[in-house]
Each structure stands twice: as structure tokens, then as C-alpha cells.
Structure 1
Amino acid sequence: MTTVYDDTAFADAIEPFRRELTAHCYRMLGSVADAEDVVQETYLRAWRARDRYDAERASLRTWLYRIATNACLTARGSGTRRVLPSGLVAETDPRSPFQLGEVPWLQPMPDARVPRGETSGLRLAFVAALQHLSARQRAVLILRDVLDFSAAETAEIIDTTVTSVNSALLRARASVAKADEERLREPEESERRAWIERYTKAFVAADVDAIKRLLAADVVMEMPPMTNWFTGPDNYGVFMDWVFEANGGDWRTVPIEANGQLGFAAYVRRDGRYRRHTLQVLALSEQGVTRNSVFSEDEVLDAFGLPPVLDD
């Protein structure tokens, strides 16, 4: 039996799912703007098909996820992948000239745009690893392991068999296992915030030695849209020496939360004003900072509502 909603009731019933669907589409697509566009398309498709929704076949949530997932699969039909530099090219020397990569880059997701407490499966390294899977493997892994849909529900959502779902899930899990280690290494939130506070203080002081003492031995620095990336505290320190030499030592920061991780926006003083410079998302372990993903594109900084200039 088809459940019939009047227009107002239907709109009220589907609206609470918007933010979690945005997070889902972001995991699939790696772009905040693309995710929001696909969610808008999902709601349009749902509205047009509202008289065909059957509550006996699927919950409203499952029905919306089916529409959204298939919209993502269509959106990714061109094979475009959003990646980070460490998943694209070999490691570079921190003294190397900057190389601009003309590719679609993975973007960070502001925590404010997803439901509170539902940032599981949003870590940058994990979402980056997802982008190297086929679109259907990505969908299966997200639906099963992140969103806890059953194999049968997942098969219904992407129109396949339970056997195919289970097979795709095994392959996908093996591909992203290394990226998921980062989450398992991370300390409790209070300790993470203490590490970030110490790192931010060292950064504002332009104290490279203090920064290096806060880094894990396997730390990774990457900074799309540049393809340059490197590992280790010594290389990190060489790069930070250049940053402060090129930009000066007068900085301010604004805390941010992205992808269930902590970080900050950096503002540097130029022409008497503190001007927007970069957004930095940090991953941590008990040994210190394990990854710093640095973004400078206006589209990314605007998504976090960061003003171009800070008031003194």
C-alpha cells in the first residue's frame, strides 16, 4: 500500500534527513558544493515521486538514501575522483618549487554542516581513500560500515544482490584499511584539543622548533591545490622555515572543526591587517600531529564562513 502525504506533511517528513544526506553525498563525491547540489537534486526527485513512495517496501530514510546514492553514482559517471596530493603523486622535497595540480581536489567538510555527533566516516584520510574505490564499492562501504544499513537494505538501495554487496564490501574494506588506522590512533577529544592548543601556540609564535616537537615521526604535510607533499618532522620544519620567512611571523588563528577533526584558519598580517591565508586540518595520535592537510582555495575557506580579514 502506498503511503499518501499531503504536500506539507511530505516536506516536513523528509526535511530532517537533509544534513545526514549531505554527509553521505560528501563521502561519495568529496566536495561540499557537489554534495549539496546532489542533495538538492535528491529532494527534487523525491518530491516528484512522493505519490509512489511505499512505506511497506522501505522506510522513508532508506528510500531517500536510494535516491541520493543513485544521484551520486550518476554524478560520478564521468569517473572524476577528488584526491589529496599524497594519493596522486610521489613525495616531494620541501625545497622543491610549488607545482599546481589541475585536478579536482578533495575538500574538507565543516562539521557544522552535518548532524552533531555524526561525523563518523568523515575523516579526510578515509574520505580520500574512498575516492580510489569504484563508485559502487564506495557506496557499499559507506552504506554498510558507516551508516549500518544491512546487506539486504544496501542491495535494495543500489539495485543489486546481497552476494554482490558482500563481495564488494570485502574488496572495499581491504582498500581503505590503512586509512582507517589514523582514526584508531587518535587520542580522546580532551587530549586532541590540548595538542591543537599547543600546536596553534607554536604556529602563532612562528616557533619552528616547538612545532617540530609536536609532530609524530611519520607526519605528512600536504597542501592542495599544490601537488607538493612530504613526510617527517625535518622536512616539515624546512617547509615551515620557508613559510615564516616568506610571510613573516605575525599571525592570528581561528579554530575550526572539519571532518570530525580539529584545526584552525591562519591569518597573516599584511598591509596592517590580518588577512586570510590557509585552513589547516590536523590529524593526531598519542605521539603528536600525524597529518596536516592545508587548504588555501577561496571556495574552501568560504565554505567555513571565514572572513577575508580579521578585526584587530
Structure 2
Amino acid sequence: MPLDDARPPDDSSLLDAYSHAVISVVDRVGPAVVRVERLAEAGRPTGGTGSGVVIAGDGLVLTNSHVVGGGTRMRLTFAEGTSREARVMGDDPDTDLALLRTDLPAGTPAAVLGDSKALRRGQLVVAIGNPLGFESTVTAGVVSALGRSLRATSGRLIDDVIQTDAALNPGNSGGPLVSSTGEVVGINTAMIARAQGICFAVASNTAVVTVSEFIAHGRVRRAHIGIAAETVPLPRRIGLATGAGRRAIRISEVVPGGPAAAAGLLAGDLILSLDGIAVEGADDLVRLLNASRIGKETVVSVLRGGVVETRTLIPVERQPRK
């Protein structure tokens, strides 16, 4: 082809496709996004505004725990301006998720929770919020990273967090992170303002498990074994000899009458593994002690006096904080 016939590439079709994808997502999911406002209660002032998303036609709304702020009564404002009161069905600071129930205005659609494990880095995502209660605010970006961990306000690590460069506007916490197919793949939870708009969302797969626990039990059940512990480095020779990792957790206190005490664990023991899974820190132990271990025999490998021993204990349900 002669050089004179060379033409600059035409990006209009690309831009149109991108715009169409974002507009399609907003049209589909935007009407399901609500403003969430905490109502004043005895001993608790009003405040705590954010966003949420309707996930079921019977009035279930998913938002952040830090938006709920320990309250029990919320006011929801929908995209067309209608307001409804809602009650808190479940509040879990450990995952920064809360579930509300309300009477939906007629015709309010519900968004679909997708499979966050199907996400890929570089994939288009759209963050939608409803901070003013009259119209959705929209930002778009890509999935920057998957499988991140984020420290919740409770101190526990939230696993499988999605990192995206879709900027979050003020008041958008609790709103959905949506894929180009219109499925909710995360609940926007945090933004690091000084890190050039790095934003995070709790994965939808985490939300599915949490919502199931809320519906079944009114809370997220977790196990505990009745110890206080700290993370300590493990000498390399011991790690190699035992198959453990580079760290372990040292028991600093055993609760009398608890599962660990019943199994004969002692202060000073180093916990190396649970059911053969290496425990390299307190976060690992908390992660492994999920609802599936409540009432189930669990084998604990400990190092005591230079000798590896195994003990069997039965974790019990951790009582929620009051």
C-alpha cells in the first residue's frame, strides 16, 4: 500500500464499544443501587451514610458493615427518590458486610451476585454508588489485582479482596462493583486516597457465604479453641524437620474449660498446623477456624520441649462481641 494511502487508526468503534458496555451495566444495575443512611437510635447518633445494592426481590440489600456502624435501623433511598426504612438482618465487621431487609418500591430490580473467581486482571469493572439518593454515580476501570487481603476494622483480615482502579466517589462504600456482563462481583469497601485511587471490594463469593450465614443464623458463625496466641518466627531447622512454615503461633494463654484446655494444650506450646494445614500466624488460625469446624474433631500439631505432638480438640462457636 502506498504511504500516501496510510490513515490513522479509527478509535471511534473501540470507544463506542467501551461506552456501550458501561452504559449497559449502569442501565441494568443502577436502579438496584440505593443510598443507605443510619437512623438515630437511643445512645447512637445519626450518621453513617453510604450505598447498598438490592440482591433479592424480597427486599434484601447488601452494604458495608462500616456504613451500618452497629445500628439496627436504616433509611434507604432508591434511584427514583423513594425512601424506605430497613432493618439490619446481619452485620459482620470481620468481612465489612451487612445485610438489610426492606419493603421494595414496586418495580425495583435486584442485581445478580456473580462468581468473583472468574475475574481476570485487566477485566473491565464498573463501580456504582448512590450517595445522594437520586441518581447513580458511576466510575469505570479494570481489575488491577485479585486475592488481596485487607485488614477490617475488627482487626481480622478480609481475604480474596479485589483491587481496582475504578475510583470511588464519597458515599459509594457499600455499592456494587459490576462486571461488563452486569453481575455484581464485589462490594466496594475502601479507598486509599494517597495511593492514586487504589480501591478495594469484598469479593462476591465472600458475600454469598456471608449472606447465607446471615439468612440461616442472623450472624456469621466462626469457631474458636480458647487460646490467646502470638505469631513467632520458627527456626529454619525446626521448619525443615517438621514440615512447618517459617512461623508458628505461640500460645500465651489457655482459657480454662475451653477446647484447647480439654485437649491438654499449654501456654508456651507452638501450634504448627491444623488438620495438616500449616499455621504461620494468628491470621492463618482465624482463617481456618470457620463455621465448618464448629463441633468437628480437629487435629492440632504442636511443638513442646523440642518434640512435635498431636492433640485432638473440638472447636466451639465463638460468641459474637456485645
Q: Which has the higher helix share?
A: 1
TM-score (norm 1): 0.25
Q: Which has the higher strand share?
A: 2
Q: Which has the higher contact order (CA 8 A, sep 6+)?
A: 1
TM-score (norm 2): 0.24
